[in-house]
Amino acid sequence: MISRSTIDTVFETARVEEVIGDFVQLKKSGSNFKGLSPFTDERSPSFMVSPVKQIWKDFSSGKGGNAITFLMEHEHFTYPEAIKYLAKKYGIEIEEIEQTDEQKDQANARESLYLVNEYATQYFHNNLLKTDSGKAIGLSYFKERGFTQETIEKFQLGYSIDSWSAFTDQAVKKGYKLEFLEQTGLSIVKQEKQFDRFKGRVMFPILSMSGRTLGFGGRILTNDKKAAKYLNSPESDVYHKSKVLYGIYNAKQSIAKEDNCFLVEGYTDVIQFAQRGISNVVSSSGTALTPEQIRLVNRLTQNITVLFDGDAAGLRASIRGVDLILEQGMNVKICTFPQGEDPDSFAKNNTLDVLQTYLAENAKDFISFKASLLTKEADNDPIKKADTIRDMVVSISKIPDHIKREVYIKECARIMDISEEVLFNTLAQLLQKDATQASKKNLAPQKAFDVITTEKQAVKKTDELFELERKIIEILLLYGALEEDFEDLILEANEQGEISFKPEISRNKVFEKIYLDLQDDEIEFTNTTFKAIYTEIITQFNQGKDFQVDIFINELEAEQANLVSDILMDDEKHALHDWERMEIYVKDKNSGVAQIVSETILNLRRFLISLKIKDLINSPVENGAYNDRSVLETVKDYNTLHSILSEKLRRVV
């Protein structure tokens, strides 16, 4: 168990914008940062990070919190995992408190899979560097590829000894359960026998964006035709090959900084590029590119450059993944290497300057590349040329942005020497076809000119009491320590019974004003979470503590922390629209704090009185008359008070 002092140090050190910046491309927006939601598929930013408050809010999914809750939501970490991740990131030594046997037994099965994978990473890496067979076979192979010691360490490369059960036997001896070794795919269990899946292979650990080992890729070094050249871990609770990109952990910061991601096919392509000095490179690990993998990159940049081998065989099939990238609204360039070269060999045999120059000069826009490739295949055949043009328009139809589609249609018309009108008509037909197919999946056929009536949706009634209590918490969080002049309207009646209000000014801190007014009226929060948060805030203010929101939120339970971050970031969503750029200037709320406090408390009083009146009116009756005539008098008094509060509100506003 992690000590309290370590947890406190992590909270004091970690910066939410730095933590989230490792996973999401953030751009400055006033005093905040904004970016695309990492939890939903969106193209307009609705994700906000506040460095001042040290919290974040995702307006598309409703999630929010601090740095810890982000890691728990995004990486599915447990609380201890998130603390350990941040401690490692910021170089904080973790102080452990001995766990009981019961606590060890309650360890999450998912965490056990991670632990097994992490042990395997260290085991294989140690084999490579410290065993005779590892040095002679595995290390020699990597040295032949030109990998330096620093590169081998950086990518945690390893070697699995060519023995049937060397790894499995050692892992079990170390206390790792066979069931988890089997679930990760590191071991194969058949009845009473256990085998190492990757025996005799050099090992490439596959890491998540946060740096946890999800699975492995293993390359065989013998010429055994019966064995696959590359072998990947099977699917597990922590490893889903369609959602993983090799190298993303080491590349993420460079991708965001360079605002571009190079996509290659193999492990060694990634490693060789990184060693040469180009770090923003990832690989689909030999699997067909998937939308999930593309969205992983989309969190960091909207620009992808796909790198292909110089061998043209199968190139047409490979570029089908380009359409998937276009569907995600991303910008695509394609670069091929000279005949007989691949990214690995080209990076190995050339300097950084030569490599960078080659990529800059030979990376073509996808439409130009596709045109040149398919035109060669057409070979002056009119039918093949027509098919080539249609193929290009199909790719353009995948682009969601209307302006980009039109630009590419014009470029295609220029390159292929065909009228824009024909291409626009073809594009319209494809889009119509896609729309028809989509509608068939979701809707029954409709007759022409039928009037479609939409079923009325029940309007969700606003919970006024919830909103008022929430508003009080918001005021305390934002302005609790401010000192303001409050105008209290004192009720007076003259000899004729006419009611008037006499203003009386008092200077108080906001939290004092709220606390005293609620105490006077004996008002208690009905929402248990709000009540707990209110009590804690008032306690801290009354004790004279220096109330800091970022520290306060870290001390709350998960549900309370999420609610507080939701309240604090609620106004930030307006910053997403960049009103000032459109010469619309929003009034600073700080300029009217006293008025906001008075309005909220008066509205709460009035609402509670309305509830009281309803309760009295709905009280049991007998023979058409109230049991107690005093009830009628009470209702009358409450109605009078309700009118007075309404009058006060009009004067405050």
Residue 461, pLDDT > 70, answer no
Element (H, E) at 364: strand 364-365
The answer to whether the CB of 319 falls within 8 A of the CB of 388 is no
pLDDT for res 580: 47
Q: What is the mean pLDDT of the chain?
A: 82
Render pLDDT for 52-108 as a digit per residue (tens, 0 to 9): 788 898 888 888 888 988 988 887 777 888 898 999 889 999 887 765 565 555 456
- C-alpha dihedral sign at 522, 523, 528, 530: negative
Q: What is residue 579's predicted lDDT score, i.e. its pLDDT? A: 44
The pLDDT tens digits for 372-407 are 776 676 667 888 888 888 988 999 999 988 898 999
Average of per-residue pLDDT across 509-527:
81
Mean pLDDT of 229-258: 91
Question: For 22-27, what is the mean pLDDT?
Answer: 89
Q: Coil, strand, or helix at residue 417?
A: coil
Give SS3 for 304: strand
Predicted local distance difference test score (pLDDT) of residue 388: 83
The Cα 418–Cα 414 span in angstroms is 7
Please give the DSSP secondary-structure letter assigned to residue 620.
-
Q: What is the pLDDT of residue 355?
A: 97
What local confidence, expressed as pLDDT, does residue 583 receive? 45
Counting residues of the chain whose pLDDT is more than 90, the rounded percentage is: 34
In this predicted model, what pLDDT tens digit does every residue of 584-623 receive, in sequence order?
A: 444 445 557 777 887 887 787 778 777 766 766 666 555 4
Q: Pick the range with the lowest mean pLDDT from 110-124, 235-249, 443-457, 463-477.
A: 443-457
Task: Kindly list the domain boundaries of the chain, sorted by start residue.
Answer: 4-89, 107-239, 248-437, 464-575+587-652
At residue 466, the pLDDT reads 87
Which residues touch 465 (CB under 8 Å, ≥6 apart)?
A: 526, 604, 607, 608, 611
pLDDT of residue 508: 83
Among 230-239, 330-339, 428-437, 563-572, the least confident range: 563-572
Instruction: Report the C-alpha gap between 572 and 566 in whole angstroms.
Output: 10
Task: Give residue 154's pLDDT.
Answer: 96
Looking at the DSSP bridge assignments, the partners of residue 246 are 283
The answer as to CATH 3.90.1310.10 being correct for domain 107-239 is no
Q: How far is CA 546 from CA 7, 295, 481, 516, in A?
A: 21, 42, 9, 20
Instruction: Give the residue with greater pLDDT, 533 vs 210.
Output: 533
- What is the predicted pLDDT for the residue at 311? 66
Residues 40, 21: Cα–Cα separation, whole Å = 17
Strand partners, 365: 333
The C-alpha atoms of residue 386 and residue 390 are separated, in whole angstroms, by: 6
What is the CB-side half-sphere exposure of residue 520 using CA atoms within 13 A? Answer: 9
Whether the pLDDT of residue 232 is over 90: the answer is yes
What is the maximal distance between C-alpha atoms in the chain? 110
Sign of CA dihedral 639, 643, 649, 652: negative
Say how many CA atoms lie within 13 Å of 578 toward its Cβ: 10
Residue 652's pLDDT is 45
Could you tell me the two tokens for 606? 């009035």
Considering the domain 4-89 in this protein, what is its CATH number? 3.90.580.10
The pLDDT-based confidence of 162 (bands split at 50, 70, 90) is very high
Highest mean pLDDT among 57-66, 129-138, 320-329, 454-463: 129-138
Residues 6+ apart with CB under 8 A from 65: 55, 56, 73, 553, 558, 561, 562, 565
pLDDT at 639: 63
In words, the CATH class of domain 248-437 is alpha beta
Identify the CA nearest to 606 among candidates 570, 640, 653, 651: 640
Residue 203, helix vs strand vs coil: strand
Query: Can you list the alpha helix ranges (DSSP code H) found in 90-194?
Result: 101-105, 109-130, 132-133, 140-144, 149-154, 166-173, 178-184
Percent of the chain with pLDDT over 70: 80
**What pLDDT was estimated at residue 211?**
86
- The residue among 283 and 629 whose pLDDT is bigger is 283
Q: For position 183, what pLDDT does the model report?
A: 95
pLDDT digits (tens, 9 = 90+) for 183-226: 999 999 998 899 999 999 999 999 988 788 999 999 999 888 78
Pairing of strands 261-264, 303-308: parallel
User: What pairing do the DSSP bridges indicate for beta strands 193-196 and 187-190?
Assistant: antiparallel
- The contacts of residue 24 (CB under 8 Å, 6+ apart) are 35, 36, 38, 47, 299, 300
With CA atoms as reference, report the closest residue to 209 among 242, 239, 244, 240. Answer: 244
Q: How far apart are CA 499 and CA 644, in angstroms?
A: 9
Q: Is the pLDDT confidence value at 571 over 70?
A: no
64-65/55-58 β-pairing: antiparallel
User: Facing residues of 603 across strands?
Assistant: none
Question: SS3 for 363?
Answer: coil
**What distance in Å separates the CA atoms of residue 496 and residue 644, rounded to the nearest whole number?**
17
pLDDT tens digits, one per residue of 1-22:
788 788 888 888 888 999 999 8
**pLDDT: which is higher, 156 or 319:** 156
Is-above-0.85 flag for pTM? no
- pLDDT tens figures, 481-505: 888 887 765 656 666 656 565 667 8
